[in-house]
Amino acid sequence: MKSSSFPSKKAILTATLLLLPVQHCLSQVNLPVLGDSLSGTISTQQEYEFGREFLRNVRSQTPVLNDPLIVEYIASLTYKLAVESELTDHRLEFVLIDSDLLNAFAAPGGIVGVNAGLFMFAQNEGQFASVLAHELAHISQRHYARNVEQARNNAIPNMAALLASLAIMATAGGEAGQAALLTSQALSVDNQLRFSRSHEAEADRIGIRNLFNAGFNPTDMAGMFEQMLRASSSSQKLPEFLSSHPLDENRIADSKNRANNFPETLYIPNPEYQLMRERVIMHYTRTAEAEYEARRSALPQLRGADADAARYGMTLALLKMGRHVEAIQTLEHLLQQEPSRITYVLLAVEVAVAAGNFEKALDLLSEHLRVNPGNNPLTMTYAATLTKAEKYEEAAQVLENHAASHANDMQLWYELAEVQGLAGNISKVHLARAEYFICIGDFARARDQLDFALTLETDRLVVAKIRQRQDYIREIEAKFYR
């Protein structure tokens, strides 16, 4: 594949602030039929590779929440929706942004990003799923490739600018978007809004259909929109999601009308959603005691999954307050009901570790890994617990084995580098650091780490692997960093 097909790093960075509105000027033309000429402009493989470069940039510039349980939940829910979608390439990757603001985004090549704050705004799983379904529709309909195609037809010379605008669309706040608008003299706000509405309407239409096909109540999309509108009216700051997804009463009405065209749905709520929501709320709260008291006082009136979520939240709050004995007592009721639910097991591990009882935590993890070998949250927690118990060689071995199936997990490589250092495996420290820097797109530092490892390694197989990684870096740089 020729490197000239991709935008340069410099072009992406310079165009990000100045050329966001280029996407929006393409409002008044009919969208092309998929498969007509898009592959001649930007192929699905190019979208895939651009998406990975975009993901590296997001990781390097945005705080990421390292919670394997929540990421696993998002991935599972997204794949459930993807099966019902028009996606032909299911190579999806996920990034959980450590922000309590309302936002989600999609990028070409199957990149799905979610602010943790989305859990705090979505009252149920259907509302949360409606946002993911909408974003998957943007990917499946190749909206970004369509922009490039239309730019070519309109003789807009800077293809890189169109792709660069994705970064602002996905991650910037309202103020940045407004600043970009003000810097553009050639494009009208009216055109931008029409473009946004055309793409958003298409994503809404396809998203709500796939939401229904995945077993959710289609009315939840309108419900989520109403939540967003309330959030925007009750705050002076526009929610991040609405800066790139304009919303008004007409759009909500359209979603309600579409939902009415589907048969009545009996959706059985997934209790895991409310548990993940509790994790996010407790992650951001500064008043753990007040959160605990609110749940404790409400508990007698709650039943079923609502009561379980309240107990789970109470346990998290107690853990945050350092009240470990009370935490495990509160969690015990949930463990008796569902001793195999990994979410409960991992909270029991968190409490045991916080109390310094590493052996109990490791026994729990070993027991459940025998039943769920390779489970990512269990495995990552097991390695972290081994590290805290100062069993560095064992922790390093667990992470090395796990890396074979999670090579793009930047947190895994970060933790592996740390534990290899504690174990005194200096060459492996450099190798793990190199992979971490590759994950965040810092190729200069990745090259340095590989060079350091080469000076220490005598094993021919390891040396050959290092050479392969050096070749990989050169290939990526030739496409994106020329």
pLDDT digit string, tens, across residues 10-25: 444 333 322 223 232 2
pLDDT of residue 293: 98
243 pLDDT band (50/70/90 cuts)? Answer: low
pLDDT of residue 107: 83
pLDDT of residue 264: 84
* Residue 179 pLDDT > 60: no
pLDDT of residue 176: 43
pLDDT digit string, tens, across residues 380-406: 999 999 999 999 999 999 999 999 999
Helix 410-423 vs helix 376-388: angle between axes, to the nearest 10 degrees?
A: 30
| Whole-number percent of the chain with pLDDT over 70 | 77
CATH number of 390-482: 1.25.40
* Residue 186 pLDDT > 80: no
pLDDT of residue 25: 28
pLDDT of residue 227: 87
Distance CA 424, CA 337 (A): 43
Under 8 Å between Cβ of 436 and 448? no
Q: Where are the domains of the chain?
A: 3-260, 390-482
For residues 470-474, average pLDDT: 96
